[in-house]
Structure 1
Amino acid sequence: MTRAAVAASYGGPDVIEIVEREVPEPSDGEVLVELKAIGVNPFDYKSYSGAFGTDESKLPIALGSEASGIVVAVGGDVEGPVGPIAVGDAVIVSGRNGTYAERILIPARFVFPKPAALDWNVAAGVLAVAGTAYDALESVAVKDGDTVLVHGAAGGVGSVVAQLAKERGATVIGTARAQNHDALRAFGAEPVEYGDGLLDRVRAAAPNGIDAAVDAVGTDEAIDVSLEVLTDRARLVTTAAFGRAEADGFSTVGGPASMERRRLASPALLKQAAAGVIEVTVAKTFPLSDAARAHAELQSTHPRGKFVLIP
């Protein structure tokens, strides 16, 4: 048996319940992982908020898509993305729903070796943001010499977008609250404060223009400013403003092609994280039993960085 957090109905964080579940033994191609830490992401609460519909047949909704832990059992023919997986291996699981649990049975293709340089909490929160950031940059073909506007550059995804864009040789202009500007400068980005006058501040920070833009907040302000400064809206991508993307004809992340691209990039992204190229800050940890509180706090103003659940 394992304890797991699920959304029993649609609504706010109060619909989350802790339940007991049977965990089968691994079959061929599967591994059983005892989790040490679990990453929390905005998609987790959006999944039961009604934002993607309220199909009752999907209840209860298994929560979470990333975690770190130790392999405690394996099935036959177990081969992960970078090689064999054995009992006792320290691993990261990513890209499969249901990680809000003490133990998870998961296909080996979603299991990656945990770099020794990453502690359990950071390891649990790195791949969702790094994979999304990588996917966004690939979708707008950010390259050496580009000037990139990153909205929400102090957030989980946005901060990694800024770091990876700098690694590619781009100049980064990042929007953020004033209290987070020093963190952006540490990533090598030029910070600008969002709010009234943002367009003028962006133009002042990038007098030679903006080549590409990544929106990681989803506000109309972010989209309107991006469309104004870009000459080619095909080089705008959003991780959140899906309605605006459909209406205004620019890119979004997500879908099967995105998921596969992220999965294939994961080993390289973990190497970058271990080497310090990608920095992920853990803002706060919560017991698994406090998943509802974590979701409530994540939807309000909170410290910069990832939230992590501890089973």
Structure 2
Amino acid sequence: MAFQRKRAPAHDPLPSPRVKAVVFDRYGAPEVLRAIELPMPQAAAGEVRVRVRAAGVRPSDIALRSGLGARAGGRGGARFPRRLGNEFAGVVDQVGAGVSGFQPGDEVMGWAAAMSYAEALTVPAEQLVPKPHTMTWAVAGALPSTGQTAHAALRQLEVGAGHTLLIHGAAGALGCVTVQLAVAWGARVIGTAAAADHDYLRTLGAQPVADDDGGIERVRALAPGGVDALFDASGDDGFAQWLQRIAAARALSLSPRHGLPALRSQRSRERLAELVAVHQRHGLLVPVREMFPLTRAAEAHRAVERGPARGKVVLMVYEAMPLSLLRLSA
């Protein structure tokens, strides 16, 4: 009788890890956002993979999702699905060839082009800096892009020690970071805001004024010779009358409608590292007003769309299981 060799039972290969990411398949209201599963990204040479813990939600994300840029003559021929998110914080879990200075387990913060609404992402190592232990995940995820925009605006306006700076919309997320940076650099800051936010601006070191006609007159009393620089951190239509009635050596606005020079927000590791240094020396923070799980990105967008408010909206990602455990448990 012939003997047959016993064969081991066949096993399916271990499934490849997958991660959730928020995408949209068409321009529209927040409801177009949905979470899908994508293959785990792999860090290429010069890149680092980060397991995201927090991602800031910015007005530019809302503009991209709604198609405002496309309707205004932006890049055509958009390919869907598209992703969102330009700032994040998380934990390194893979380092590509040629990268030094980072290793798995490092807590980092950084920026990426329309991809941070995800459980994991890969970015060039030069777009990351270490996250201070004194900074919460939510704040670290909300600061990189907003903070660099504020930094770039002040550099473009040439604000420094001894200057008087007027910030329109000073209590908003961008405005309050701009206030803190300018104060840290030795400038005198006057900030417009609703009355309910005046005490808050005082804690940041700014002189608050109303964001109406009365505020314009108050600024003219505080700075009878005009201000050195005027920055519109809100981008609203009401800024036009401030331009007309407040003498300013230099002015800059988020909105191109006012005929001012365009804001050049040039991001760099050095710029982000300087923001971290200001945090460590002066307590620079971006206030966080609401946090939502990643899968509730539509609700987060609706919160931003409700209008100007103090602080940032942030998407939070619950701490993911390490890849080694994912493989063991498969």
Length-normalised TM-score, structure 1: 0.90
- What is the aligned partner in structure 2 of residue 212 from structure 1? 229
SS in 1 for 2:116: coil
- What is the aligned partner in structure 2 of residue 191 from structure 1? 208
- What is the aligned partner in structure 1 of residue 99 from structure 2? 78
Q: State the Cα deviation string for residues 187-233 of structure 1 (Å, max 9, x = none).
A: 1111111124342222123233211001011123213313432254x
- What is the aligned partner in structure 2 of residue 275 from structure 1? 281
Tell whether 2:230 aligns with 1:224. Answer: no
Which whole-Å CA distance do the structure 1 matches of 2:285 and 2:45 have between them?
A: 35
How many positions carry a matched residue from both structures? 296
- What is the aligned partner in structure 2 of residue 49 from structure 1? 66
Alignment of 1:12-91 (within 5 A): 12-54=29-71, 55-79=76-100, 84-91=101-108
Counterpart contact for 2:172–2:309, Cα < 8 Å: no
Alignment of 1:1-311 (within 5 A): 1-54=18-71, 55-79=76-100, 84-232=101-249, 235-239=250-254, 241-245=255-259, 250-254=260-264, 258-260=265-267, 262-301=268-307, 304-311=310-317
Counterpart contact for 2:139–2:285, Cα < 8 Å: no
**Structure 1 stretches of 5 or more lacking a match?**
none
**Structure 2 stretches of 5 or more lacking a match?**
1-17, 318-330
Counterpart contact for 2:129–2:269, Cα < 8 Å: no
Distance 1:179 1:7, change over 3 A: same
Which whole-Å CA distance do the structure 2 matches of 1:140 and 1:63 have between them?
A: 29
Task: Choose 287-296 or 2-11, whichever is displaced more.
Answer: 2-11
One-letter identity of the residue aligned with 1:289:
T
Length-normalised TM-score, structure 2: 0.85
Task: Choose 161-170 or 216-225, whichever is displaced more.
Answer: 216-225
Query: Over alpha carbons, which structure has the higher Rg?
Result: 2
Which whole-Å CA distance do the structure 2 matches of 1:66 and 1:33 have between them?
A: 12
SS in 2 for 1:24: coil
